[in-house]
Amino acid sequence: MLLCSMGVAACGDDGSGIPCTEDAQCPSQFCRADGTCAPADIDAPLGPDAPTDAPSGVCTPNHDGAITLAELPLTAGKMATFRVALDPTFDTAGSAATGGARRWDLTAQLAMDSDRPLALLSPIGTWWATKFPTASYAALLSAESDLLGVFQVDATALVLLGVVSPAAGAFRTELAYDPPAKILALPVATAGTWATTSTVSGTAQGALVSYTERYASLVDQVGTMATPYGEFPVVRVATDLTRSSFGSTLLTKRSFAWVAECFGSIATVQSQDFESSAEFTDPAEVRRLAP
């Protein structure tokens, strides 16, 4: 293969080592975080307690209305390119489609757009690995911060275990959620609801903190989402976050995630702080899958 002969990476007969930026470029359908294809027979673990029905490579959407763990690429080492816009204009309500569905279109250029490779990072060898021994992976929480969310996934849920800074040190961030905050209840299906109230404690930039966060989620819409990568049948997950301390509200935030079989969250939108409308047009951040 030409790319193997160019000295970019060492490539095997199983397709491993081929340079890639997305899963579709690999025989294994798995582009690793280092920008090379995994072997075609890969069965990448999710963590020390990896479920046996974790995705192992090729996934074919069956459009049955329920997205299971096997239809989500939530594996450490996965990566994809997302087009990210800060403070753009976008109407989260979308437009009406047939049968009560909705259609959203994020193909257009938005203010302050930039393409960013986003990876699900392995906990192995990290400074925080012993603090979160059941972690499956970590991922960047926001384009405006380097903080990582530490997640665990199994056949029933994706949960947020904590938030950490990339590096340790006197000014590190190391926050733990008790109980872990449920981000997705699996399988993801229309009208599904879930909520978690967690005590968040630890250090934030070296300072001791403790407060409460409540995540309340609802699968509120079905339809299609058009992204620069392509158009997908999706379910939309609406999540309201409320942060409080000693009875006072410190922050409210609303977010949406458009979830597709075999691709996961192909688009996300975060509101400005203290957004009061169910739908809004001035998000703080918009991400969508890009080629």
- Is residue 27 very low, low, confident or very high in pLDDT (cuts 50, 70, 90)? confident
- A 10 A CB-CB count for 102 gives 18
pTM of the predicted structure, to 2 decimals: 0.83
First to last CA, the chain: 22
Look at residue 30 in the predicted model and tell me its pLDDT.
65
- Asked if residue 250 lies in contact with residue 243, where contact means CB atoms within 8 angstroms, the answer is yes
Contacts of 268 (CB under 8 A, 6+ apart): 255, 256, 257, 258, 285, 286, 287
Look at residue 18 in the predicted model and tell me its pLDDT.
77
Residue 3 has pLDDT above 90, yes or no: no
Residue 76 to residue 53: CA distance in whole angstroms: 15
Look over the chain and give the mean of its residue pLDDT values, rounded to a whole number. 87
pLDDT digits (tens, 9 = 90+) for 221-239: 999 999 999 999 999 999 9
Look at residue 53 in the predicted model and tell me its pLDDT.
39
3-state secondary structure of 31: strand
pLDDT digits (tens, 9 = 90+) for 82-124: 999 999 999 999 999 999 999 999 999 998 899 999 999 999 9
